[in-house]
Structure formats: structure tokens, C-alpha cells
């Protein structure tokens, strides 16, 4: 599921919106997915409940060393949302948090070596299984923070289709068109190789272009009151900006939902016990994450620029989040 490219911070609207590896391994287009089918089968990854390892931070002493490094993955919006939020919260406790922007593979290697202390975007059990296998002896899991990562086909809320299967006989309602994202995205791959043949959608024109182009079509169609069908994924801020809903996938062609885990270098976890617990305390619901990402990335808000300001605004509008975070009471 490494196909997620989204808007990048620094004022550049990279050619893709949430290359969230939701289904691919190219880091050049939205959707999850890894071309490597390996899975870390020695663990039941589904049993992690976001926030379950939370504890009251008031009972802990701050770490002696307050300079800590986190990685974010280029183009993966949810990692910017999570890391910049915890950066804000740790800085309130006197920490100096450095954020380094890396591709997913190098980020795992950097945490394994100890060049980076933590990252918060390990998608399991499938998307990042090969990365995990490479560094599993050098990292420690730090709980999970989000449990509903999923690829999908989405339609406008008031359109007739309820399942992907419905699309086969409702082509005229959707102009016989399915709008996709980047050609190299895992989401594009699974749609072409699994979803379309499984549901007999060969009669549709599958328009593969870019995440921004797909989102522009969503806006155009929903503004005009027209039906639209697109490939999309969770988490994504489009669900909070546009009246969109998922189609049921009765054949499970997109596969199971994935869980976002936090990881830390083994030595860093020992060096930063307060930060380690803070990371375990972090969790977000789908609604919270979509709301934050919409503020951070949509064109009429911060448009992928100045993540610190966007997060500060969101935390200011949601004061209970920081309170529950410190008390270890957040749930995903």
C-alpha cells in the first residue's frame, strides 16, 4: 500500500494527495498497497486497539534529553498529521522535536539505525510488512493510533449504487467512468488487477491520472449534483470536505483494513521513556483525522503548507484532545 503521494509541506502541492501507501509501493499516488506481498505473519496485527496502551503522563518524569527526532513519510498525509500533532504536544512539555521528511523505506532504516528515534506510520499487516521484516530486531512497537486504513471505491452520498457490484448494471448513472489516481499507486494496481475483473467493470473507462485530478472531479461532480465514482481510501480528508460515501465490497477485493502502528528505535525507547509513553497515548478517530487533514491539506485551508500552524489551530479548536492525550484516554 505504498501509493500515496499527497500535498507536500513547504508550499509544494506534490502531484498527489495522500499517497498513503494505502495500496501501492511507489510513493507517487494515493492509496495503500505494497507490491511486496510478504506479511509479518508471526503476529496478529488486528488485535491492537488504538490508545489501549495509554497512561497518565502526569505520573511520569520528563526525559533528561529533550531533543528527539521523528520521521514523516514524503507524501503520506496521515503521518504529517500525527507527527506534527505530537510535536506540538511534546513542545508544550519543553521538548525540541526535529521532524525529518523521508521516503518510507529510508525512514524505517533510519529508525532501525537510531538516526531517527520514532515514526508513527507503520501500516500492518500488509503494506509495510517487508519494511518491518527488515528492521524488526532493531525497533519496538509503541502501540497503534488508527485502525481503519482501507482502500475503496467511493461515490457521492445521494447516488444509487450501494455496493461495487451495483456499478456493473448502473454504468449510465456514472457515465460509465471510474476516476482513479496515479498509475504507480497500489490502489490503481489493485483496482485494475482485482476489483475491475472481480466485479465485471470492464465496461467502465478507468481514468488513471492523479490524486489532485480525481479530487477536482469529485468537487466538480458534487457541486453540480452529478453522480461520480472514484477510487479513494481511508484516512482521507475528502470525506470531511465532500458528500462522499464508500461502496460495500462484498467480494473483499480491496482486502482487509490495516492498522497504523507507532515504532521506536530500541535504544531510543529506553532513552526517551516519557516520549515513548506519549506516543503510545496518541490515537485519533476517523472523524478527527479527516477533520485535521482537511484543515492541513485542502486548497481553501492551509493547502499543505505550514503544518505547525494548521495543527495549532486544530488543537485550539479541540482542547479536549490535548487533555485526553495527557490523561491517556484517547481512543481511535
- The model's confidence at residue 324, banded by pLDDT at 50, 70 and 90, is very high
pLDDT tier for residue 75 given thresholds of 50, 70 and 90? confident
For residues 122 and 197, give the distance between their C-alpha atoms in angstroms, rounded to a whole number: 30
- At 97 the pLDDT is 98
214 contact partners, CB below 8 Å, separation of at least 6:
17, 30, 179, 180, 181, 230, 231, 232
The CATH 3.40.190.100 portion of the chain extends over 150-246
Q: For residues 264 and 75, which has the higher predicted lDDT (pLDDT)?
A: 264
Q: Rounded distance, CA 313 to CA 332, Å? A: 21
42 compared with 205, residue with greater pLDDT: 205
Q: Mean pLDDT across the stretch 250-264?
A: 94
- Tell which residue, 179, 27, 130, 218, has the closest CA to residue 191: 179
pLDDT number for residue 185: 73
Over residues 211-227, mean pLDDT: 95
Report which of residues 27 and 208 the model is more confident about: 208
Residue at grid coordinates 532513552: 271
What integer is the mean pLDDT of 309-329?
A: 98
Judged against a pLDDT cut of 50, whether residue 14 lies above it is answered with no
Top CATH class, 22-37+46-149+258-320: alpha beta
> DSSP alpha helices (H): ranges in the chain?
77-91, 104-113, 129-135, 186-190, 196-199, 211-224, 238-241, 266-271, 273-281, 286-297, 307-317, 319-327
Cell of 236: 482521507
Confidence of residue 41 (pLDDT cuts 50, 70, 90): low
Angle between helix 286-297 and helix 77-91 axes, rounded to 10 deg: 90
What average pLDDT does the chain have?
Answer: 88
User: Is a pLDDT exceeding 90 seen at residue 174?
Assistant: yes
Average pLDDT on 185-197 reads 90
Whether 2 shows a pLDDT value over 60: the answer reads no
For residues 199-215, give the mean pLDDT: 94
**Which tops the pLDDT comparison, 258 or 167?**
167
Query: What does the pLDDT average to over 43-72?
Result: 95
Question: Out of 7-16, 147-156, 308-317, which region has the weakest mean confidence (pLDDT)?
Answer: 7-16
18 pLDDT band (50/70/90 cuts)?
Answer: very low
* CATH 3.40.190.10 domain span(s) along the chain: 22-37+46-149+258-320
- Our CA angle for 295, 58, 329, nearest 5°, is 50
Q: Determine the pLDDT at residue 221.
A: 98
Q: Which CATH number fits domain 150-246: 3.50.50.60, 3.40.50.1370, 3.20.20.70, 3.40.190.100?
A: 3.40.190.100
Amino acid at each position: 500500500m505504498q501509493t500515496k503521494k499527497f500535498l507536500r509541506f513547504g508550499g509544494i502541492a506534490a502531484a498527489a494527495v495522500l499517497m498513503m501507501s494505502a495500496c501501492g509501493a511507489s510513493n507517487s499516488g494515493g492509496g495503500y498497497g505494497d507490491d511486496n506481498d510478504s506479511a509479518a505473519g508471526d503476529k496478529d496485527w488486528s488485535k491492537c486497539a488504538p490508545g489501549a496502551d495509554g497512561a497518565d503522563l502526569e505520573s511520569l518524569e520528563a526525559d533528561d534529553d529533550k531533543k528527539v527526532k521523528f520521521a514523516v513519510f514524503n507524501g503520506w498525509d496521515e503521518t504529517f498529521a500525527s507527527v506534527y500533532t505530537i510535536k506540538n504536544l511534546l513542545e508544550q512539555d519543553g521538548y525540541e522535536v526535529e521532524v525529518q521528511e523521508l521516503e518510507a523505506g529510508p525512514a524505517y532504516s533510519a529508525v532501525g539505525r537510531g538516526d531517527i528515534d520514532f515514526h508513527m506510520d507503520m501500516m500492518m499487516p500488509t503494506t509495510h510488512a517487508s519494511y518491518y521484516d527488515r528492521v524488526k530486531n532493531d525497533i519496538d512497537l509503541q502501540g497503534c493510533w488508527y485502525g481503519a486504513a482501507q482502500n475503496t471505491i467511493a461515490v457521492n452520498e445521494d447516488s444509487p449504487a450501494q455496493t461495487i457490484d451495483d456499478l456493473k448494471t448502473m454504468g449510465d448513472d456514472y457515465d460509465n467512468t471510474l476516476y482513479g489516481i496515479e498509475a504507480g499507486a497500489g490502489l490503481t494496481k489493485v483496482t485494475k488487477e482485482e476489483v475491475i475483473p472481480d466485479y465485471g467493470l470492464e465496461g467502465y473507462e478507468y481514468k488513471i491520472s492523479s490524486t489532485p485530478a480525481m479530487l477536482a472531479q469529485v468537487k466538480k461532480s458534487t457541486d453540480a449534483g452529478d453522480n461520480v465514482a472514484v477510487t479513494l481510501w481511508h484516512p482521507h480528508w475528502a470525506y470531511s470536505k465532500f458528500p462522499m460515501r464508500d461502496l460495500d465490497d462484498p467480494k473483499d477485493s480491496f482486502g482487509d483494513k490495516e492498522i497504523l502502528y507507532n515504532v521506536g528505535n530500541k535504544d531510543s525507547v529506553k532513552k526517551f521513556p516519557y516520549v515513548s509513553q506519549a506516543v503510545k497515548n496518541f490515537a485519533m478517530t476517523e472523524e478527527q483525522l479527516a477533520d485535521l487533514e482537511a484543515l492541513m491539506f485542502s486548497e481553501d485551508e492551509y493547502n499543505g503548507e505550514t503544518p505547525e500552524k494548521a495543527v495549532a489551530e486544530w488543537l485550539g479548536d479541540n482542547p479536549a484532545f490535548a487533555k485526553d492525550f495527557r490523561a491517556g484516554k484517547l481512543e481511535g
